[in-house]
Amino acid sequence: MKSIRIALRNCGVINPERIQDYIAKDGYLALSKVIFEMSPDKVIETIKKSGLRGRGGGGFPTGLKWEITRKSAGDEKYIICNADEGDPGAFMDRSILEGDPHSVLEAMAIAGYAIGANHGVIYVRAEYPLAVNRLKASIEQAESLGLLGNKILGSDFSFNISLSLGAGAFVCGEETSLISSIEGNRGEPNVKPPFPAEKGLWEKPTSINNVETFANVCPIILNGDQWFASIGTEKSKGTKVFALAGKINNVGLIEVPMGTTLREIIYEVGGGIQGGKAFKAAQTGGPSGGCIPAQFLDLPIDYDSLASIGSMMGSGGLIIMDEDNCMVDIAKFYLEFTVDESCGKCTPCRIGNKRLFEKLQRITRGDGTLHTLDSMKELGDIVKDCSLCGLGQTAPNPVLSTLRYFYDEYKAHVVDKRCPSGVCASLITYSVDQEKCTGCTVCARNCPVPCISGERKMPHLIDQARCIKCGVCFDKCRFDAIVKK
């Protein structure tokens, strides 16, 4: 198995509720090394040279972000840990916070030392109660040992960390919305620039980094930038944690070097597709990402390669789809999510995505035309170009990428009025194969409407006018006599 555990190094290895376990695994060694042996500039230099990029999705170089925040003028500065993990099917950050909370706290203190901040805020979802409790307990433990708080280990450096709980709005994962939310305002984004590194929390220079980014910091300090830079691809260093979900045998959390191919992830680490079915697509980057078709199974995955094929790294949710998934339906699912989560501040995102969603609804109902497809492409591009924040700028990605790679499937929906995967209810019909039907009456007895009639031991018939296309008969028939078209 080709996995390397850096961010997840302690998850499942130590008891996260015992700081002694963490210290035994070199915990807080990086922080003390930084405080007593390195200057802030040296810390930033090390992170820059390591090539670490933001793991939240954007992939901005972490060292550069710290440097800009350090150079920004301000009497006070802040470190924020973005733990507002909201992508459907993603749980990398939760696992790190629950399995190794101290690694995040220590790295925040290191970041604070580097940029000249004395206060850190962790913005964490309230839906993660266990993570919240473990973070609270960990902060207390570290403070009681003098590893956080005032004058850490007797030095002149002080760093305090507090928690801020998010109320479950997806848009608050976007950094300017997150800051608004911490300040007690509505979670709505603001125009950038000024970037948070210049004017962030309470108008002070602020560095916002993702949980997984922080989890990579201590090993870099301890093992050196060259060690980290030796893992991964030319422009994407280190490893990436992925949450494998969907139609894959070994659902779970994996950490692999950047540059690992989808094929290796799915067939070696993930144990292949459920039921031995054919791979159809992988969805990366959650609602902001795109669907990657089978032709890119051997593409080494990193920030730039994913962007070049119309998807994105995102935070690391990786949903595997097989031949039974309808790509139009998948695009509709993700767009419904972003339409729901759009804050409504800017028009392209609020109205544009809604109209895009309605077009998808029309297609899955069987009311779409080829013109609908063209107009979706046009509208999607407009929403991408004109939206205020990352949510709107990426929301059309699932639609645009499926249109690009699965155009034939869209065409089948609008021209032939047929759903090839048999998912879109309005476009499929169930009928009884008169040859195969033995008249066992199982379908008729299980039909919820009920719309199946027929004598015992005689072929049955489905009343198409009353059929609700629930598929119960299809699942229950033991003789393969129900035909789905």
Partner 1 sequence: MNKIKNYEEFKKYQLECSASFDLTSSKTQNFMLYVGMATCGIAAGAKEVFDTLNSEIISKNIKNAKVTSTGCLGYCYAEPVIEVRSSTGISTFYAGVTPELAIKILDQHIIGGTPLEASILTRGDAL
Where on the chain is the footprint of partner 1 (CB under 8 A)? 8, 10-18, 20-21, 23-26, 28-29, 32, 36, 91, 94-95, 98-100, 128, 130-131, 144-147, 153-154, 249-255
Task: Look up tokens 């220079």; give the residue.
Answer: 205
Local structure of 251: helix, strand or coil: coil
Q: How far is the CB of 480 from partner 1 (least distance, A)?
A: 29
Q: How far is the CB of 12 from partner 1 (least distance, A)?
A: 3
Q: How far is the CB of 146 from partner 1 (least distance, A)?
A: 3
Nearer to partner 1, 28 or 303 (CB): 28
Nearer to partner 1, 290 or 316 (CB): 316
How far apart, in whole angstroms, are the C-alpha atoms of residue 247 and residue 152? Answer: 48
For residue 283, how many C-alpha atoms fall within 13 Å in the half-sphere facing its CB?
29
Q: Quick one: which of 71, 54, 30 has its CA closest to 238? A: 54
Residues in the chain: 485
Nearer to partner 1, 249 or 431 (CB): 249
Which is it for strands 482-484 and 252-257: parallel, antiparallel or unpaired?
unpaired
How far apart, in whole angstroms, are the C-alpha atoms of residue 274 and residue 346? Answer: 41
Residue 67's region, left for phi above 0, alpha for psi from -120 to 50, else beta, is alpha
Nearer to partner 1, 146 or 344 (CB): 146
How far apart, in whole angstroms, are the C-alpha atoms of residue 388 and residue 381? Answer: 14
Nearer to partner 1, 139 or 171 (CB): 139
Q: How far is the CB of 154 from partner 1 (least distance, A)?
A: 4
How far apart, in whole angstroms, are the C-alpha atoms of residue 376 and residue 362? Answer: 12
Q: How far is the CB of 26 from partner 1 (least distance, A)?
A: 8
Nearer to partner 1, 154 or 275 (CB): 154
Q: How far is the CB of 29 from partner 1 (least distance, A)?
A: 7
Q: Quick one: which of 313, 43, 306, 341 has its CA closest to 170? A: 341
Nearer to partner 1, 145 or 461 (CB): 145
**Under a CB-based contact definition with an 8 Å cutoff, are residues 76 and 121 in contact?**
no
Q: How far is the CB of 215 from partner 1 (least distance, A)?
A: 12
Q: How far is the CB of 130 from partner 1 (least distance, A)?
A: 5
Nearer to partner 1, 86 or 293 (CB): 86
Local structure of 293: helix, strand or coil: strand
Opening angle at CA 191, ends 187 and 195, nearest 5:
95
Using alpha carbons, list the distances in angstroms from residue 159 to 29, 117, 246, 442, 466: 16, 7, 41, 68, 67
**Under a CB-based contact definition with an 8 Å cutoff, are residues 321 and 406 in contact?**
no
Nearer to partner 1, 19 or 282 (CB): 19
Nearer to partner 1, 17 or 183 (CB): 17
> Which neighbouring-strand residues pair with 482?
432
Q: How far is the CB of 251 from partner 1 (least distance, A)?
A: 5
Write out the two tokens for 357: 């969603």
How far apart, in whole angstroms, are the C-alpha atoms of residue 476 and residue 149? Answer: 63
- Helices then strands, counting H and E runs in the chain, come out as 21, 13
Contacts of 461 (CB under 8 A, 6+ apart): 432, 452, 453, 454
Q: How far is the CB of 37 from partner 1 (least distance, A)?
A: 9
How far apart, in whole angstroms, are the C-alpha atoms of residue 302 and residue 186? Answer: 34
How far apart, in whole angstroms, are the C-alpha atoms of residue 59 and residue 228? Answer: 16
Q: How far is the CB of 11 from partner 1 (least distance, A)?
A: 4
Q: How far is the CB of 273 from partner 1 (least distance, A)?
A: 13
Write out the two tokens for 203: 């108008």
Nearer to partner 1, 12 or 344 (CB): 12
Nearer to partner 1, 156 or 455 (CB): 156
Could you say which DSSP state residue 457 is in?
A: T
Which is it for strands 279-284 and 317-322: parallel, antiparallel or unpaired?
antiparallel
